[in-house]
């Protein structure tokens, strides 16, 4: 039976820390691997990440690229099974908003082939993926 006081870390999983400043034969004596003088040799020596001694840092020398908008996506995905409630009706963006399937601020919608549909619906002014178009037409509906 194993006890908590018998548990040890796996062999080689914990490195033994270097004992700095314990003589030349230890390999890290006197300057302790810090070199000679300068800000980095001192206790509490600090400089900002990316600081290059006053030279223009790399992250400021390179051009700024890319942009990611914080606005929500204007085109919303609609699944096939969400169209079942519009049996025999014409479905457009206003109808989807009224049924609260898409948010009010959505500028467009696209029907994707997720789920199944067994009722005929007619889509007007809504994008449709090829797989969704095939499923809608197989159920007797149409997509413009």
55 or 115, which is more confident: 55
The mean per-residue pLDDT over the stretch 78-106 comes to 91
Between the CA of residue 74 and those of 67, 108, 113, what are the distances in Å?
Answer: 17, 6, 19
Domain containing 132 equals 75-143
Does 106 map to a domain? yes
Give the count of domains, the chain: 1
- Percentage of residues in the chain with pLDDT exceeding 70? 99
Question: Residue 134's domain is classified under what CATH number?
Answer: 3.100.10.10
> 46 pLDDT band (50/70/90 cuts)?
confident
Does 121 map to a domain? yes
Does 88 map to a domain? yes
Residue 4: the pLDDT is 94
Residue 13: the pLDDT is 95
Residue labelled with tokens 């049996």: 87
Does 56 map to a domain? no
Task: Encode pLDDT of 64-90 as tens digits.
Answer: 999 887 776 788 999 999 998 888 889
| pTM score of the predicted model | 0.51
Does 25 map to a domain? no
129 in Cβ contact with 112 (< 8 Å):
yes
90 in Cβ contact with 122 (< 8 Å):
yes
Does 13 map to a domain? no
Smallest Cα–Cα separation from 49: which of 38, 41, 60?
60
CA dist 58 and 122 (Å) reads 57
Instruction: Give every strand in the sheet of 142-143, ordered side by side.
Output: 90-91, 122-123, 142-143
């Amino acid at each position: 039976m194993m006890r908590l006081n018998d548990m040890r870390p796996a062999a080689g999983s914990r490195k033994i820390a270097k004992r700095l400043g314990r003589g030349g034969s230890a390999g890290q004596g006197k300057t302790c691997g810090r070199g000679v003088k300068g800000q980095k040799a001192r206790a509490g020596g600090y400089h900002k990440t990316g600081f290059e001694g006053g030279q223009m840092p790399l992250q400021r020398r390179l051009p700024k690229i890319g942009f990611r908008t914080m606005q929500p996506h204007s085109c919303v995905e609609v699944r096939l099974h969400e169209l079942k409630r519009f049996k025999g009706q014409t479905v457009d963006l206003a109808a989807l908003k009224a049924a609260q399937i898409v948010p009010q601020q959505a500028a467009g919608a696209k029907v994707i082939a997720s789920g199944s549909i067994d009722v005929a619906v007619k889509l007007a002014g809504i994008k449709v993926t090829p797989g969704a178009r095939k499923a809608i037409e197989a159920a007797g509906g149409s997509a413009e």
